[in-house]
Amino acid sequence: MIRFLQTPGRLQKTLLVGFLAIVCIMMVVTLVPGGILGDTFGVSENSVAKVGSHDITVQDVQQQTDSMLRQQFPRGAPPQLRPFFVQRAVQSLILQNVMLTEAERLGLGATKEELRYQLLHGPYAARLFPDGNFIGEQAYESLISDNLHMSVAQFEAGVRKDLAVQKLRAAIEGGVTVSNAEIMAEYNRENTQVKFDYATITVDSLAKQINPTDTELKAYYETNKQQFVNSIPEQRKARYLLVDETKLPNPPQVTADDLKTYYQSHQDEYRVPESVTVRHILITAPAPGPNVDQKAVDAARAKAEDVLKQLKAGGNFAALAKKYSDDPGSKDKGGELGEITRGRTVPEFEQAAFSAKPGELVGPVRTQFGFHIIQVEKHTMAHLKSLDEVKAQIEPIILRQKELAAANTLAQAAQTAARTDGMQKTAASMKLQLVDTDFFGRGDALLGIGTSQQFSDFVFNNDPKAQPTSVSVPNGFAIVQVTDVKPAATPTFDQIKAKLTQMYKQDRAQSLLAQKTQELSDKARAGHNLKAAAKEMGADFKTSDMVKPGDQVPGIGQLSGQLSSIFDMKPGDISGAMQADTSGVVVALVDKQLPSEADLAKSKDQIRQALLGQKQDDVVNVYVSALQARMQKSGKIRINNAKLAQLTQTTDNQ
């Protein structure tokens, strides 16, 4: 457990930043030749895979799958996607254990002391050690179970594994450097500006020039006929009686007893939690840690105390918040955070806010973000709203329920009568609207109903022999009977000729685009004049502004991919044919400006870090790819294919 964390001890070297994340895992999945779920054997019956000495259990896979699904689909994932995520989970776990096995082989496992340091200073520190005090074993277990859905032992084992992998990654990428020449090349690539003439030929402009004959269209129709089979959707006719819950013969009424009964059975909905309405001024400071800049902390504290002094002397809170606060989300609102309930903020802030009296100034309060000056504007104690307070909210709910119940009763009676006496007689005797439709399709709007999925499903899943049936619709119920069916059909050539013409012209224009763009380029190069060539071929001619890589240019789009080659051209050069979305492009470079070396100093560190990160990723990718292949070849990665298939199939059927 975590008991050893409560005793002081010598901390070893500072760990790399990171917590419960293996940065390179998913990054190398696609780099492994042939994938990692090949045919192997020798795995225990209850494991999905084994990497070295590490078993990957069914529980591991399920937890990893759940975690991925929660991250991708916070509101719940479609069940049919789960098998795919099971496969991804297995891949991720195998790669994690490949790196873990290598880390252990190199003696890079994480010690208890390193685990202690990570928990004391990592992302969970504020929750595990508020005010520097451990929250206790039971609270710790609940925190991990509720948030990560695992036991404390699994959590701590996972942290140690992650730390070991982080050490391995640090060892792999430790010798990676970025030269000044590489920085300069990247700086030039990102900041070179060009101006160019460009001519575009669009698919639509070519399509307008194409006029197919009937013979060509008929041949096109026969070639593509399969895609038109049954493209005219099925249509149906129906007869229905409407029971509108807002137009009932005897509208229901809401009584005082109804209100009281509903209120008593739904009191939990009307409980108001304790809350405070607060505003604050934040002065940021370095987070606590072994290498914290104490001078910066002291300076921030002094600044916060000075602001507090100004407030106590009568300073305007909103004005001072706008002037001094480092919280971008609230400073422009005068420091207003609005109403907050318990559990919504970090513990130190919460304790101070809920302990203060309305109007009282509190601070400076230290949190992981810095120093806060807090003022509580309103403190609302937990309470239950009275019936009088919620009556206006409850009454329409009860009325809706009563109207629906009365409409359902009337609809059931109408259904019985329609099956016995017929639809027309029932409509007359019960004073209900009777509607006979023309042919309509799924999803079409209907008189008195609008659109209704349930109505449409009933009509298109039954035949004219079916008995009249009550179906729920948006404004009540409809007693429905199918009266005629027009099956789906394949359109004739004449019926679809207009659509065929558009399709033919678009397809033909698309196939001509590359040819015509190349012709434009050849003419422009031969005459050393793009504008003249564009005029001769009817292409659209424009001149760009000075632009940089990645900028948007009208008629072309973003200057990336094939279009980024424009920045390698010299003034006077005319490009070959290039593709840009739905148009072909030819470019003549007018001007090119390299960035000033004097401005490089402003972004040199940022470029260096970006390049370093990219090169480190590349090195790790190559290393892990080779390691993966070596372990596969030596049989150290084994898959229980039967268990994997069973797990995927079982998951698929859930």
Domain count, the chain: 4
Q: Is the pLDDT of residue 7 over 70?
A: no
145 located within any domain? yes
In this structure, the answer to whether residues 322 and 280 fall within a common structural domain is yes
In this structure, the answer to whether residues 296 and 413 fall within a common structural domain is no
The string of pLDDT tens digits covering residues 209-237 is 999 999 999 999 999 999 999 999 999 99
Q: Is the pLDDT of residue 6 over 90?
A: no
Largest interatomic CA distance in the chain = 94
Which two tokens mark 54?
């590490």
The string of pLDDT tens digits covering residues 487-514 is 999 999 999 999 999 999 999 999 999 9
261 located within any domain? no
Q: Which of 42-56, 452-466, 469-483 has the lowest mean pLDDT?
A: 42-56
188 located within any domain? no
316 located within any domain? yes
Section 559-566 average pLDDT: 92
Angle subtended at Cα 273 by Cα 271 and Cα 276, rounded to the nearest 5 degrees = 145
Section 619-645 average pLDDT: 88
In this structure, the answer to whether residues 555 and 512 fall within a common structural domain is yes
pLDDT for residue 452: 93
Q: Is the pLDDT of residue 453 over 90?
A: yes
In this structure, the answer to whether residues 413 and 511 fall within a common structural domain is no
Write the CB contacts of 385 (distance below 8 Å, at least 6 apart in sequence): 270, 271, 272
pLDDT for residue 43: 65
425 located within any domain? yes
Selected residue with higher pLDDT from 75 and 502 = 502
In this structure, the answer to whether residues 473 and 433 fall within a common structural domain is yes
Write the CB contacts of 328 (distance below 8 Å, at least 6 apart in sequence): none
pLDDT for residue 4: 34
Confidence tier at 619 by pLDDT (50, 70, 90): very high
In this structure, the answer to whether residues 23 and 168 fall within a common structural domain is yes
Confidence tier at 650 by pLDDT (50, 70, 90): low
Q: Is the pLDDT of residue 38 over 90?
A: no
Residue at which a domain ends, from 352, 381, 410: 381
This prediction's pTM: 0.49
pLDDT for residue 42: 55
The string of pLDDT tens digits covering residues 155-171 is 898 888 889 988 998 89
Closest Cα partner for 394 from 245, 260, 248, 252?
260
Residue at which a domain ends, from 442, 469, 486: 486
In this structure, the answer to whether residues 126 and 201 fall within a common structural domain is no
Q: Reduced to 3 states, what is the DSSP secondary structure of residue 470?
A: strand
The string of pLDDT tens digits covering residues 270-283 is 998 999 999 999 99
Confidence tier at 483 by pLDDT (50, 70, 90): very high
Closest Cα partner for 502 from 202, 200, 208, 201?
208
For residue 330, give the CATH number of its domain: 3.10.50.40
In this structure, the answer to whether residues 152 and 127 fall within a common structural domain is yes
Per-state percent for the chain, helix, strand, coil, to nearest 5: 50, 20, 30
Selected residue with higher pLDDT from 196 and 3 = 196
Residue at which a domain ends, from 486, 502, 521: 486
The string of pLDDT tens digits covering residues 256-267 is 999 999 999 999
The string of pLDDT tens digits covering residues 576-591 is 999 988 899 999 999 9
In this structure, the answer to whether residues 571 and 502 fall within a common structural domain is yes
What domain range includes position 333? 274-381
pLDDT for residue 646: 80
Selected residue with higher pLDDT from 647 and 203 = 203
Q: Is the pLDDT of residue 30 over 50?
A: no
Write the CB contacts of 243 (distance below 8 Å, at least 6 apart in sequence): 407, 410, 411, 414, 432, 470, 476, 477, 478, 479
187 located within any domain? no
Distance CA 126, CA 346 (A): 7
pLDDT for residue 451: 93
609 located within any domain? no
Distance CA 126, CA 343 (A): 13
pLDDT for residue 32: 35
For residue 76, give the CATH number of its domain: 1.10.4030
In this structure, the answer to whether residues 553 and 420 fall within a common structural domain is no
Q: Which of 304-308, 421-425, 485-489, 641-645 has the lowest mean pLDDT?
A: 641-645
Distance CA 194, CA 199 (A): 16
Angle subtended at Cα 216 by Cα 210 and Cα 219, rounded to the nearest 5 degrees = 140
65 located within any domain? yes
pLDDT for residue 76: 80
In this structure, the answer to whether residues 375 and 522 fall within a common structural domain is no
The string of pLDDT tens digits covering residues 371-418 is 999 999 999 999 999 999 999 999 999 988 888 888 999 999 999 999
Closest Cα partner for 200 from 567, 561, 543?
543
Confidence tier at 112 by pLDDT (50, 70, 90): confident
How high is the mean pLDDT of the chain? 87
Section 55-81 average pLDDT: 86
Section 437-450 average pLDDT: 94
pLDDT for residue 127: 84
pLDDT for residue 578: 95
User: Where is mean pLDDT largest: 53-57, 77-81, 127-131, 506-510?
Assistant: 506-510
In this structure, the answer to whether residues 528 and 431 fall within a common structural domain is no
